[in-house]
Structure 1
Amino acid sequence: MADIKFEIEKELGVIAESAKGWKKELNLISWNGKEAKYDLREWSPEHEKMGKGVTLTTQELKSLKELLNKIYL
């Protein structure tokens, strides 16, 4: 399996933290040197390991925000 290179350009916020210290975060990440996208996934304490996540373009994040604003919580 090829190495995946990433650079966290901006840490936007933590949504949750597990008892083992892993954090579910929203970040702006450049994957393999490409344009940075919004990324939501779990990270180990020092960002050396990551869980599965979802990567969104700016337009996709805007659409998600609109959907979330319609939900009554």
Structure 2
Amino acid sequence: MAQEFSYEIIEEIVVLGENAKGWRKELNLVSWNGRPPKFDLRDWAPDHEKMAKGITLTNEEFGKLKKALTEMDY
């Protein structure tokens, strides 16, 4: 049996891309089940009613990722 959960997109930060069906890869701040928001990267349906699997990052994890990306030579 699927477990119920709730989410609230607190802030839409950036849309990284969109596929032919209108699903968008987004980085957002999302509160899951009423908990403090986390950075969330995943594909969302156009109405934000459906989502694909994604990853969530705490502020500390996001800070480390941001630092690593800034230091990259690409």
Q: TM-score scaled by structure 1? A: 0.95
Secondary structure of 1:19's counterpart equals: coil
Secondary structure of 1:45's counterpart equals: coil
Shift in Å, 1:53: 0.4
Give the letter aligned to residue 42 of structure 1: D
Seq. identity, %: 51
Give aligned pairs, total. 73
Please, which runs of 5 or more residues in structure 2 have no aligned partner? Answer: none
Query: What are the equivalent positions in structure 2 for 1:22-41 lying under 5 Å apart?
Result: 22-41=23-42
Shift in Å, 1:70: 2.1
Structure 2 Cα separation of the partners of residues 42 and 30 of structure 1: 16
Please, which runs of 5 or more residues in structure 1 have no aligned partner? Answer: none
Tell me which residue corresponds to 2:63.
Answer: 62
Please give the root-mean-square deviation of Cα atoms over the aligned residues, in Å: 0.8
Secondary structure of 1:33's counterpart equals: coil
Shift in Å, 1:72: 2.0
Tell me which residue corresponds to 2:16.
Answer: 15
Secondary structure of 1:9's counterpart equals: strand
Give the letter aligned to residue 2 of structure 1: Q
Give the letter aligned to residue 25 of structure 1: E
